[in-house]
Structure 1
Amino acid sequence: MRLKLTLSYAGFLVIAGTLLLAAVWVFLLRGRSNSLAVPERADFVRVFTPGNFGPVVFVPAGILVLAFLLVFGLVGGWILAGRMLAPLTRITDATRRVANGPLSYRIRLPGRRDEFRELADSFDAMLARLEAHVAEQERFAANASHELRTPLAVTQALLDVAGSDPHHDTGQLVARLRAVNTRAIDLTEALLLLSRADQRSFTRKHVDLSLLAEEATETLLPLAEKHGVTIETSGDMSTTTGSQALLLQMTMNLLHNAIGHNLPGQGTVWVRTGIRTDTAVLTVENTGERLTPELVSTLTEPFQRGSERLHTGHAGFGLGLAIVKSIVRAHDGALTLTPRPAGGLRVTVRLPAAPARQ
């Protein structure tokens, strides 16, 4: 690229010089009485002699000027091209360094904001997102391995105890093995749901979030009543486009999380829907323990658990809000978690509103 730019600069100078000399000949020398002749060797010697700048010596003088412009264009073009391409070279070196090393490297290109600076800044932003994503995936893999290993270890321990004691109650053993196996299956299903949401392999159609909120409330109302949690729903029709199954799972997870992390015997959950400036909004808010902003910022990571859960008969895997985040991202939405001053959590889901049907 540097050689191409150098040749381009030099060629442009030669062409510009040729046009300049042609203009001088047409407008200044053409009307003179001396006729243009083929130059001889002696003409080149007299080129710069005062009084000899006539039409006869104009051609050899022009050739010298063009030769000078060519050399000047090659040398100057090579230097200018090198200076102009220096940021691109720095970006290329950075890509090689990142490809063979840590993702923490940043270009941080100095100077005024131009095309190269914008490219470098975009590359740095991409590296930051990629580094965060890789770190999240590493934590996810480690936590998933730990969570999956736990039921397997419990199963192995139960089998070892049963093998060492022939008179052990097999009915109790089967019940415990069934419970451990059910938990392992639920965890696997949650991981598969998380993977499917990230792949965006679903058909989009109109979905009313207010209807999903009512359906989730009816489904989880017995669980809420069992633990003394009141659910209050309100809002208007809030239509978006996406997968009804995934959006229902999202709403169920939010409501189940709000019931599970609540005050025992006197908790409240508020579910609201509505449309705000071409955005479908679903808000789930619950009472509970006071949460710090630092803790809230980590709740959407897989296997992260907030406050202690109520004894809902399901210990949870710490995947509920992670699945919600994945579903919201797959629907091009935004998820906001805010701690309530009085205790508890406010979760707001913003999705693109569905266009009006024709």
Structure 2
Amino acid sequence: MDSRPEAVGPQPRTADRQPGMSVRLKLTLSYAGFLMVAGVLLLATVWGFLLRYVPERALIVPGSTGTPTGVFPVRSNLLHVFAPRAAAVLAFLLLFGLVGGWILAGRMLAPLTRITHATRLATAGSLAHRIRLPGRSDEFRDLADVFDGMLEQLEAHVAEQRRFAANASHELRTPLAISKALLEVARRDPDADTGELLDRLEAVNTRAIDLTEALLLLSRAEQRTFTREPVDLSLMAEEATETLLPLAEKHGVGVKTGGEVATASGSPALLLQLATNLLHNAIVHNLPEHGTVRLGTAVRPGSVLLTVENTGEQLTEEQVATLTEPFQRGSDRARSGHTGVGLGLAIARTITQAHDGTLTLAPRPGGGLRVTVELPAAAPHPGG
């Protein structure tokens, strides 16, 4: 009995097609056929011209030629002379069209061959290959450039997914390993403080639950499985502020909100999570004391803005560029008493992209971070 595991999931399907002529051969026959048709039309035009302007018979003037004087049939003799030469010309055009068409088709299709080779490499899993067709822009080179851009995006996306999977595995394994170690210590020492053990297990379990919920939220945002409705970002900012006000007071951070009504189209739950994540990040990554956070909303032509700005340590452009990567933590996160799971800004970026918006991070000149979310404005209601 065959013990090999069966393939799970959809398998790639190869089209069952009968073999046919290559594109190069089709182009060759097309070139040759067109040349033959043009040659036939040209010869027919010449023959019609001769029939029109050459008389059917000609009178031979005495002394003009070496032939006897009389009337001779010119057209019939012309046909005997013209027909074999016309056939020779057509045969030459056919041979010339086949050979020349084969060469020209090969030169024209050479870029397509390179594109096909790159496609097969990508299908086999090699995304590092690039076509990079030389020369000026044309249809094939535009296609190659678009394909190179797609390969570059796919390679970056696959690399990001691999890093995310490795980091998620590590983050999920850490609380499980800690729980296992705590239980082993308790087993070896029955007289240990059970209350302390339970507190530590609860903290580790809470972190694992938070991480799992963050991963599920990230997956939901990426799939865009939500219903869109008008959402006022200023209300989301106020609600997030009310939720995280105790955390801000604990860290000695003052939170200020303001701005105008900014209505976007999206999921209220996800946009509230977006504002909450940005505010939470601004609170826990702030100055040790007397820090501030400012939330503001604004309206632009065709879009709405949510801005979260906080004081903090001086950041460089290089540091800011990595903050939206999953599980990336700034230097001050390890010192924070409420570190989170390292997915706050990554989830914020994913929620923003799922709502067709942009999330921009920039270091503040005096230290800290400025985060700007720009979303498409909600379409006004008819008659509103």
TM over 0.5: same fold? yes
* Match of residue 3, structure 1, among 21, 25, 40: 25
Instruction: Confirm or deny: 8 A CA contact 2:210 2:341 kept in the other structure.
Output: no
Q: Which residue of 2 aligns with 1:75?
A: 99
Q: For residues 68-121 of structure 1, what are the alpha-carbon distances to aligned partners after superposition, in whole Å with 9 as ceiling and x for unaligned?
A: 111111100000000000011011112223333542221111111111111111
Query: Quick check: which has more Rg, 1 or 2?
Result: 2
Q: Which residue of 1 aligns with 2:228?
A: 204
Instruction: Confirm or deny: 8 A CA contact 2:285 2:336 kept in the other structure.
Output: no
Worse overlay, 320-329 or 309-318? 309-318
Q: Are positions 1:22 and 2:44 aligned together?
A: yes
Q: Which residue of 1 aligns with 2:64?
A: none
Instruction: Confirm or deny: 8 A CA contact 1:203 1:243 kept in the other structure.
Output: yes
* Match of residue 327, structure 1, among 319, 341, 351: 351
Q: Which residue of 2 aligns with 1:38?
A: none
- Name the CA shift for 1:94/1:5 in 2 (closer, same or farther; >3 Å): same
Q: For residues 191-229 of structure 1, what are the alpha-carbon distances to aligned partners after superposition, in whole Å with 9 as ceiling and x for unaligned?
A: 010111111111111111111111111221222122221
- Name the CA shift for 1:312/1:216 in 2 (closer, same or farther; >3 Å): farther
Instruction: Confirm or deny: 8 A CA contact 1:261 1:310 kept in the other structure.
Output: no
State the alpha-carbon separation in 2 of the partners of residues 266 and 29 from structure 1.
Answer: 106
Unaligned runs of 5+ in 2: 1-22, 58-74
* Match of residue 56, structure 2, among 30, 34, 52: 34
Give, as a single letter, the amino acid of the residue that structure 2 aligns with 1:224.
A
State the alpha-carbon separation in 2 of the partners of residues 217 and 53 from structure 1.
Answer: 105
Residues 183-262 of structure 1 correspond to what in structure 2 (within 5 A)? Answer: 183-262=207-286
State the alpha-carbon separation in 1 of the partners of residues 125 and 195 from structure 2.
Answer: 55
- Name the CA shift for 1:53/1:169 in 2 (closer, same or farther; >3 Å): farther
Number of equivalenced pairs: 343
Residues 1-358 of structure 1 correspond to what in structure 2 (within 5 A)? Answer: 1-34=23-56, 54-100=78-124, 102-309=126-333, 313-358=337-382
Give, as a single letter, the amino acid of the residue that structure 2 aligns with 1:226.
K
CA shift at 1:232, angstroms?
1.7
CA shift at 1:313, angstroms?
4.9
Q: For residues 267-296 of structure 1, what are the alpha-carbon distances to aligned partners after superposition, in whole Å with 9 as ceiling and x for unaligned?
A: 111111112221111111111001111111
TM-score normalised per structure 2: 0.85
Give, as a single letter, the amino acid of the residue that structure 1 aligns with 2:304.
A
- Name the CA shift for 1:31/1:270 in 2 (closer, same or farther; >3 Å): same
Give, as a single letter, the amino acid of the residue that structure 2 aligns with 1:336.
T
State the alpha-carbon separation in 2 of the partners of residues 230 and 79 from structure 1.
Answer: 76
TM-score normalised per structure 1: 0.91
CA shift at 1:298, angstroms?
0.7
Instruction: Confirm or deny: 8 A CA contact 1:3 1:78 kept in the other structure.
Output: yes
CA shift at 1:320, angstroms?
0.2
Q: Which residue of 2 aligns with 1:46?
A: none
CA shift at 1:6, angstroms?
0.6
CA shift at 1:357, angstroms?
1.4
Identity of aligned residues (%): 70
Give, as a single letter, the amino acid of the residue that structure 1 aligns with 2:135.
G
SS at match of 1:30: helix
Give, as a single letter, the amino acid of the residue that structure 2 aligns with 1:239.
T
Instruction: Confirm or deny: 8 A CA contact 1:143 1:303 kept in the other structure.
Output: yes
CA shift at 1:312, angstroms?
6.5
Instruction: Confirm or deny: 8 A CA contact 1:303 1:318 kept in the other structure.
Output: yes
State the alpha-carbon separation in 1 of the partners of residues 229 and 125 from structure 2.
Answer: 44
CA shift at 1:230, angstroms?
1.4
Instruction: Confirm or deny: 8 A CA contact 1:262 1:309 kept in the other structure.
Output: no
Q: For residues 43-71 of structure 1, what are the alpha-carbon distances to aligned partners after superposition, in whole Å with 9 as ceiling and x for unaligned?
A: xxxxxxxx998344333322222221111
State the alpha-carbon separation in 2 of the partners of residues 176 and 62 from structure 1.
Answer: 100
Instruction: Confirm or deny: 8 A CA contact 2:314 2:363 kept in the other structure.
Output: yes
CA shift at 1:248, angstroms?
0.8
Give, as a single letter, the amino acid of the residue that structure 2 aligns with 1:232.
K
Q: Which residue of 1 aligns with 2:69?
A: none
State the alpha-carbon separation in 2 of the partners of residues 101 and 175 from structure 1.
Answer: 47
State the alpha-carbon separation in 2 of the partners of residues 176 and 99 from structure 1.
Answer: 48
Instruction: Confirm or deny: 8 A CA contact 2:251 2:284 kept in the other structure.
Output: no
CA shift at 1:138, angstroms?
1.2
Give, as a single letter, the amino acid of the residue that structure 2 aligns with 1:329.
Q
